[in-house]
Amino acid sequence: MNILVVGANGQIGKHLVKLIQENGDQARALIRKEEQAAYFKELGAETAIVNLEDEIDAIANAAEGVDAVVFTAGSGPKTGKDKTLMIDLDAAVKTIQAAEKANVKRFIMISSFDTSREAIQAAPESFAPYVVAKHYADEWLLNTDLDYTIIHPGMLTNNPGTNRVNLGASVERGEVPREDIAKVIYASLKNDTTIGKRFRAVGGQTPVEEAIQSV
């Protein structure tokens, strides 16, 4: 399987590319600048240099010939509302459109833990734009014909992965290592029962492969 990882230079993205390569599949890391490429080339991954604020065609060209697209990009906590709008919403929608243009049906979106209307209303002023962006990006994906999976991770940490999670539509808030979210993404790509599903992911006691079977 050939997989385009959008936001590959982020922490989840790096874990995911490594996992893909270690398991005999082929990752194509979409990154913003050439200086970021060395890490991925050492793993044997392909790279595509694309700025997510560019046109849809630039992303579509990077998606040519892949079997799946994973959107893990995010503006980060230190940017303003403008970058939240441009990356977490506009770039996410453009990536969805790019996948359609490149005839890639399988699409995995890394969202926020709760993107409901209620979550928007309850969010602190500084966090609300992020929830709004994720809400509408999710809605756009839900209204396509793509074979989507939307993953809603809990509070992300850099703790070592445990390979044990709790997945489901209504699990309680909790922490989860980014490394384990990468494992959930990869397991979702390998299991077609996750197509058309959206679920939350937090740390738990169930091995990832087993937890994926129950979503």
Q: Which amino acid is at 96?
A: I
Catalytic residue selected from 39, 130, 136, 148: 130
Task: List the helix and strand counts (H, then E) for the chain.
Answer: 9, 11
Helix (H, G, I), strand (E, B) or coil at 85: helix
Q: With DSSP H G I counted as helix, E B as strand and the rest as coil, what are the percentages for the chain, rounded to 5?
A: 45, 25, 35
Q: Kindly report the number of other CB atoms within 10 A of residue 41's CB atom.
A: 11
Told to judge if 130 belongs to the known catalytic residues of this protein, a careful annotator would answer yes
Contact criterion met (CB below 8 Å) for 202 and 174: yes
Ramachandran category for residue 196: left, alpha or beta (phi over 0 → left; psi -120 to 50 → alpha): left
Catalytic residue numbers, as ranges: 130
